[in-house]
Amino acid sequence: MNVAEAAAAVLAREGVGVLLAYPLNPLIESAAAAGIRPIIVRQERTGIHMADAISRLTSGRQVGVFCMQAGPGVENSFGAVAQAFSEGVPLVVIPGGSRRATAWVQPAFNAAVNFAHVTKWREQVSDPAAIVPALRRAFTQARSGRPGPVLIEVPADIWQEEVPGEFAYTPTTRPRSAPEPDAVAAAADILLAAQRPVIYAGQGVHYAQAWAQLREVAELLEAPVATSLEGKSSFPESHPLSLGTGGVTMPRALAEHLRDADVVFGAGASFTETGFGIRWSPRDRKRFIHNTVDPVDVNKNVPAEVALVGDAALCLAQLRDVLIERTGGAPRGRRAEVETRIREQNKPWWDEWLPLLTSEQKPLSPYRVIWDLLHTVDVAGTVITHDAGSPRDELSAFWRSEAPLSYIGWGKTTQLGTGLGLAMGAKLAAPEKLCINVWGDAAIGMTGMDLETCARAGIPILSILFNNFSMAMENKIMALSRERFQTTDISGNYADLASALGLFAERVTEPGQIKEALIRGIDATRSGRPALLEFITTQEKVYSIFSPDSYQTRR
Ligand SMILES: Cc1ncc(C[n+]2csc(CCOP(=O)(O)OP(=O)(O)O)c2C)c(N)n1
Ligand SMILES: [Mg+2]
């Protein structure tokens, strides 16, 4: 067995069914020989985003794998690996490398060195005997603790060399750890004494599959639940205790609860400071209880009065048990008041936004498209993701996700064009679901050619494009250069493009056509054909952003 064959055999033992890839890499051939389906994308970024979504939709039980060639292939992959690193997504990336003799000689691109800051673990395999242990370490590192991308670079002159001895490999498992019982008891006491507690659920709840435990704790405490962008769909947003998601934009009740909370309990959350999430302020006089899988997060951006380091499912189950011990499991009669407050705080917000969500304006309001989409699809049977920029901020506050892992939220670094690959990977991981990406015309410029991969490889996603012939988000910031040199103007007919690439495609300009077009697009995906619907939308930008003093949405 040579190195390429041994690597494919490891992937097969790890349950990898699909290898995302871009040539040349000998693993493509050996994977095919081992019964693993290689899917060739049109550029490396999209393949890595697809692998990323496979990992997310399986809570890391299945780690997405991508391979590409040395030099340009690996150089072109940086953005997607950096995205996965910032989000803590488990991935195994297997680039080719220069021959061992020149790996350290300029101008060879040394992936292990150059990806050091965007990978959790990286190795250059310098001996055929090292391939199997290197991959064992890769799968273990990718999904243990805080997950992340791992890179195993295989020099060009090693792939065909024989691996000594018999092939043997036991699939890796995901080790878990639990917080100290005393700390859990202290957290329970603080939460029970709190006047205005808020639970803040992060993506650790998804990786730990702790959805039921989160709900039990929220209902026992009769406390409202917010999620981060990445944690969206970890708590049903149709639940009366839900505050929704905190990204750049958010519902009004969430903003007001953030102002008023005395205790915040982060479950499976890093509390990482990001321009695309809740601005937790260390100056806040709130008390923080912090459950995270990685001690690196503790006291990083917020001070933790109680740190509960460990798996979110184990932590929440322990906390549930202590809460039941303390309260006898009986409600303390707070829930009605909490639910009423959420409803009342959101009432003026809905009054303000409903006209836009149901707007008859032309060019179309993106909010009208989102609203019609939300009321056309089976929300629980859908996986939806935004893109960078306006679609993220327009979608995340108004999409009410119901089922776990039905929304792929991302927003640490936000690589324009990522959403397409995420929806494609989601469709591979959950073929029975309707998988949707919502993006703008700048985003399609980044990765749009991979619509062809959807058609060719039979990945029937629904792609919702807001075409406003502009990077409208930047219009105000770039006003002078725009006036003088049209710097934010872009253009294209993307329905024609998608149709030329083999998709079902329509351009929609009339508000009254939105719903029927959506139904036709969904029907196309059901018949196995990917669909792109291009909505001609306004350049005027309004977002549900709150200034801390007024709690009116800033437009
Ligand atoms: C790779 C990359 N480069 C630059 C950006 C910065 N960026 C964020 S949104 C955006 C423009 C978005 O335009 P579009 O997708 O058309 O949405 P619109 O605001 O027009 O609705 C840019 C340039 C980014 N997120 N990623
Ligand atoms: Mg645009």
> What are the sequence ranges of the domains in the chain?
3-155, 181-342, 358-536
Give the CATH number of domain 358-536.
Answer: 3.40.50.970
Q: Which atom of ligand 1 is nearest to the CA of 466?
A: 21
Mean pLDDT of the chain: 97
Cis peptide before 133 (omega within 30 of 0): no
Q: Whose CA is nearest to atom 3 of ligand 1?
A: 416
Q: For 443-454, what is the mean pLDDT?
A: 98
Q: From the CA of 470, how far away is ligand 1's center (Å)?
A: 9
Whole-number Å distance, alpha carbon 252 to ligand 2 midpoint, is: 26
pLDDT bucket at 555, cuts 50 / 70 / 90: low
Query: Is 472 a pocket residue for ligand 1 (Cβ < 6 Å)?
Result: yes
CA of 389 to the centre of ligand 1 (A): 5
Q: How confident is the model at residue 314 (pLDDT cuts 50, 70, 90)?
A: very high
Is the CB of residue 159 below 6 angstroms from any atom belonging to ligand 1? no
Q: How confident is the model at residue 551 (pLDDT cuts 50, 70, 90)?
A: low
pLDDT given at position 552: 63
Q: What would the mean pLDDT of 437-444 be, rounded to a whole number?
A: 98
549 pLDDT band, cuts 50/70/90, is low
Centroid of chain to Cα 452: 23
Q: Please give the distance, rounded to the nearest whole angstrom, from the Cα atom of residue 440 to the centre of ligand 2.
A: 5
CA of 488 to the centre of ligand 2 (A): 9
Say yes or no to pLDDT of 550 above 70: no
pLDDT at residue 548 tops 80 = no
> What's the mean pLDDT in 400-420?
97
User: What CATH number matches the domain at 181-342, 3.40.50.12500, 3.40.50.1220, 1.10.3720.10, 1.20.120.80?
Assistant: 3.40.50.1220
What is the reported pLDDT for 281? 74
Q: What is the CA radius of gyration of the chain?
A: 24
Tell me which residue of 470, 464, 445, 442 sits closest to 540, measured CA to CA. 470
Mean pLDDT across 101-118 = 96
CATH superfamily assigned to domain 3-155: Thiamin diphosphate (ThDP)-binding fold, Pyr/PP domains (3.40.50.970)
Buried b / exposed e across 219-246, counting CB within 10 Å, b at 16+? bbbbbbbbbbbbbbbbbbbebebbbbbb
Smallest CA separation from ligand 1 atom 11, residue:
471
pLDDT of residue 284: 73
Judge whether 199 and 219 are in contact, CB under 8 Å: no
Q: How far is the CA of 53 from the centre of ligand 2 (A)?
A: 24
pLDDT at 285: 84
Task: Among the bound ligands, name the one nearest to the CA of residue 391.
Answer: 1
Answer whether residue 109 shows pLDDT above 90. yes
Among 238-242, 283-287, 408-412, which is the least confidently predicted range? 283-287
471 lines ligand 1 (CB under 6 A): yes
Residue 395 tokens read as 């979608």
Element (H, E) at 315: helix 312-327
Asked if 3-155 and 358-536 have one fold, the answer is: yes
Name the residue with the closest Cα to ligand 1, atom 17: 440
Which residues surround the ion ligand 2 when the cut-off is CB under 5 Å? 440-441, 468, 470, 472
